[in-house]
Amino acid sequence: MLQQGQKRRHSRRRALQALYQWELAEGDVQDIDAQFLATQDMSKADVGYFQALLHDVAATLSEIDAELQPCLDRDLARLDPIERNILRIAAHELRARPDIPYRVIINEAVELTKSFGAEQGHKYVNGVLDALAQQLRAHEMASPINAGR
């Protein structure tokens, strides 16, 4: 049986694929959700977490993009769509999931980028998310537990 962290990892992968499809096809989030549940192997994923990521990122896209933009060295629209959606998932988690440590969120995004993004894209994603975490999770980053980072 998979642990919660492993199930979330699979949920993030599926959410990335679904958001990529949503963005490129300009489809309906509900339809993409239903399609993924019907056609993708979701046995390793936390389906509820997948759905929350997909729907919450889509619903708060403009807010997420507005928070990401100051951390970027170019317009968000110019980023590779895979990396753009990885950043959106991680930004959402940084904003809405204080129960998940920022280091875990950044690490998961870096690993997703290594799997699906451009060759050195993980370095860019790491830098952007580190800057965003400093804004959204400054208190957590300043805690004594994180002093040795």
pLDDT digits (tens, 9 = 90+) for 103-146: 999 999 999 999 999 889 999 999 999 999 999 998 888 876 65
**Domain coverage including residue 24:** 1-59
Residue 80 is assigned to a structural domain of this protein = yes
How far is residue 7's CA from residue 141's CA, in Å, rounded to a whole number? 25
Claim to verify: residue 22 and residue 66 sit in the same structural domain: no
Claim to verify: residue 4 and residue 46 sit in the same structural domain: yes
* Token pair of 40 as six digits: 């993708």
Claim to verify: residue 66 and residue 137 sit in the same structural domain: yes
Residue 29 is assigned to a structural domain of this protein = yes
Residue 120 to residues 56, 65, 113, 129, 131: CA-CA distances in angstroms? 28, 22, 9, 15, 18
pLDDT at site 147: 47
Claim to verify: residue 53 and residue 66 sit in the same structural domain: no
Mean pLDDT in residue range 42-71: 96
In 10 A of CB 77, how many CB atoms?
A: 9
Q: What is the pTM of this model?
A: 0.93
Whether the predicted pLDDT of 37 surpasses 90? yes
How far is residue 72's CA from residue 88's CA, in Å, rounded to a whole number? 12
Residue 149 is assigned to a structural domain of this protein = no
